[in-house]
Amino acid sequence: MLPAGKTVARGHRGSTVETLQVALNHNGASLAVDGKFGPATHAAVVDFQQENGLKVDGRVGPETRGALNESTPASVGKGTTRSADNEDDSDESSSDEGFSSNAIVRAAHSQKGADFNWGSYSPGRAFDCSGLTKYAYSKAGISLPHSSSAQANGGKRISKSQAQPGDLVVWPGHVGIYAGGNKVIDAGRSPDAVSERNIWGNPRFVTYR
């Protein structure tokens, strides 16, 4: 169980974050239990808060901690605590927590031709835009919420020149995977399937690196 104490947020490290990651994994996330509260852990917290009707801020305060403890058996997380001599609760964030651009782009490519269907998350069959990005990121060990706006808000906004394959390309109400070379892989109404196409308009770029 998560111990009472200070709010845990992005940038924190230590045994409390390890216990948090184990609890989130018990609730459907796919995090590396490394004690680093980086972008992937932040996104998993946001996902949990949305699914449980909590204030969505990506921070683990009393309300979110209580909900996690209620949904997680007391035995889960035992054995993850390190000794105080080895614990580091510094605010240094991890820049590469679970992020693999090759795995993300490869997973998105593997679903080309799947149907577009709003609200869907059915590998090999159908996706909506955020379902595809959620699936692709899961193959790199990163748990994203099934919401384009939450995915956009959970990462770090970057410029197009900073974007790398695997980052998110975001339009109002739509999201896709940056494939490099001004290309995006997305599930959209046109052509009503998962496809790779040229980036259009003036989207935002968001990274979880």
Lowest mean pLDDT among 93-97, 130-134, 155-159: 93-97
What percentage of the chain exceeds 90 in pLDDT? 45
Token representation of residue 7 = 């709010």
The total of other beta-carbon atoms located within 10 Å of residue 20's CB is 28
Active site residue 26: no
Question: What are 16-51's pLDDT values in tens digits?
Answer: 888 898 888 887 777 788 889 888 898 888 888 888
Question: What does the chain look like in DSSP terms, one character per residue?
Answer: -PPSSSPB-TT-BSHHHHHHHHHHHHTT-----SSB--HHHHHHHHHHHHHTT---SS-B-HHHHHHHHHHS-TTTTTT-PPPGGG----SPPPSSTT--HHHHHHHHHHTTTPEE-TT-EETTTEE-HHHHHHHHHHTTT----S-HHHHHHHSEEE-GGG--TTSEEEETTEEEEEEETTEEEEEETTTTEEEEEE--S--EEEE--
Lowest mean pLDDT among 54-58, 102-106, 177-181: 54-58
Residue 78 has pLDDT above 90, yes or no: no
Residue 166 has pLDDT above 80, yes or no: yes
Mean per-residue pLDDT of the chain:
84
Active site residue 91: no
Band of the pLDDT at 147, cuts 50, 70, 90? very high
What is the per-residue pLDDT for 99?
63
**Domains and their CATH numbers in the chain:** 15-86 (1.10.101.10), 101-207 (3.90.1720.10)
Mean pLDDT, rounded, for 106-110: 94
Residue 53 has pLDDT above 90, yes or no: no
Nearest to 45 by CA among 143, 161, 192, 147: 143
Active site residue 174: yes
What is the per-residue pLDDT for 128?
94
Band of the pLDDT at 132, cuts 50, 70, 90? very high
The whole-angstrom separation of Cα 130 and Cα 186 is: 9
Q: What's the predicted TM-score (pTM) here?
A: 0.56
Nearest to 194 by CA among 136, 132, 146: 132
Band of the pLDDT at 76, cuts 50, 70, 90? low
Band of the pLDDT at 109, cuts 50, 70, 90? very high
Band of the pLDDT at 75, cuts 50, 70, 90? low
Per the residue annotation, which of 47, 129, 146, 167 is the catalytic one? Answer: 129
